[in-house]
Amino acid sequence: MSLFDELRRQEPGLNDRQVLSVACRRLVRETRLHPPINPLALMGLRGIVGVEASRLAQLGCLVQLGNGRSVIHVRAQDHPIRQRFTIFHEIAHTLLPGYSGTQEFRCVENSKQPKEQLSNHAAAELLFPGLFFEGDLAWAGLTTKGLELLARRYQASLEATAIHAVDHWSSPAMCVVAKQPPLTTATLGSSDRPSLVVSYVHRQGVWPEAVNAYAILRSGVLEQTLAADARIDGTLTLNNDNQEQATRLRLSAKAYPFRTGGRRQNRVIALLTSA
Ligand SMILES: [Zn+2]
């Protein structure tokens, strides 16, 4: 019987995500690992004999070698931190319900497939084990400064850390990631830089309708953060369209440029909680 099926039988009231969270906690406890979690011990427990960097179109894959053994392939051109998450994602596939050790997984970015989403969930539970992460988050706080500390401690990307931190914050929380489209030949040399575009919003808890990506972008705070090139910690007031009600939020934002395809791209990460 698989670990998943065994836990499902012990805890019939849990959904798939909750069963996976319990499985991940158990694995981290058994291996006595501490952050930053070394995936090698987890791979050994799940029959994965190694990691190879290959030229892949997709992020990664888990390839069966026979006799219950498998190997992880990660995309050679990805950043090591991205590859690290892919390794945890592939380990997580072996924990999923119905995993028989015979399938081959080819994993693409932002897939909406339930198995891919469950794998991402379990990967985050292994990368940021609750045993350590909950205390660390309470100590570091949901700010960009705290985010940087946590990303370094867990060797994870800022965005993956922000999403996990939002999910585990003790009250409603939100992160907004906005990116500036790269300069094209049409905009190169022009004084009009392309504006920031919200890449995605990740939220947890109940929020007023007025608090949405459009309202945050319209407030101008993301553009100000990019222009100031400094850490911004303060409050943000968002008005409803009818101007009758205002919502005060605590905001922490900073510009984090990154490189993609050899080019520098601007990005702002903003963390929001209710003030
Ligand atoms: Zn996958």
Q: How far is the CA of 3 from the centre of ligand 1 (A)?
A: 19
CA of 170 to the centre of ligand 1 (A): 29
What pLDDT, in 10s, does the model give residues 110-155? Answer: 788 888 999 999 999 999 999 999 999 999 999 999 999 999 999 9
pLDDT band at 184 (very low <50, low <70, confident <90, very high): low
Distance 115 CA to ligand 1 centre (A): 7
CA of 126 to the centre of ligand 1 (A): 15
CA of 82 to the centre of ligand 1 (A): 14
Residue 264, pLDDT score? 86
Distance CA 242, CA 253 (A): 27
Q: Distance between the two ends of the chain, CA-based, in angstroms? A: 48
pLDDT digits (tens, 9 = 90+) for 71-82: 999 999 999 999
Of 117, 124, 269, nearest to 200 by C-alpha is 269
Question: What angle in degrees, to the nearest 10, is found between the helix axes of 158-168 and 130-140?
Answer: 90
Whether 187 has a pLDDT exceeding 60, the answer reads no
141 CA from centroid of ligand 1 (Å): 31
pLDDT of residue 94: 93
Distance 113 CA to ligand 1 centre (A): 9
- Per the model's pLDDT, the better-predicted residue between 234 and 275 turns out to be 234
3-state secondary structure of 226: helix
Distance 120 CA to ligand 1 centre (A): 8
* pLDDT above 60 (res 22): yes
User: Would the CATH topology of 3-127 be identical to that of 172-274?
Assistant: no
Fold of 3-127: Arc Repressor Mutant, subunit A (1.10.10)
User: What is the distance in A from the centroid of ligand 1 to the CA of 243?
Assistant: 45
pLDDT interval class at 106 (50, 70, 90) = confident
pLDDT: which is higher, 38 or 243 = 38
Q: What is the mean pLDDT of residues 187-201?
A: 76
Radius of gyration of the chain (CA): 20
pLDDT digits (tens, 9 = 90+) for 199-240: 999 999 999 888 888 889 999 999 999 999 899 999 999 876
CATH number for the domain formed by residue range(s) 172-274: 3.30.450
Q: Are 269 and 199 in contact (CB under 8 A)?
A: no
Model-wide pTM > 0.85: yes
- The DSSP result for 129-162, as a single string, is -HHHHHHHHHHH-SSHHHHHHHHHHHT--HHHHH
CB 14 within 8 Å of CB 30: no
CA of 163 to the centre of ligand 1 (A): 18
Distance from Cα 172 to the centre of ligand 1, integer Å: 29
Q: Could you tell me the two tokens for 82?
A: 């991205």
Question: Which of 131, 136, 165 has its CA nearest to residue 27?
Answer: 131
Distance 119 CA to ligand 1 centre (A): 6
Query: Can you give the residue ranges of every domain in the chain?
Result: 3-127, 172-274
Rounded to 10°, the helix 114-127/16-31 angle is 30
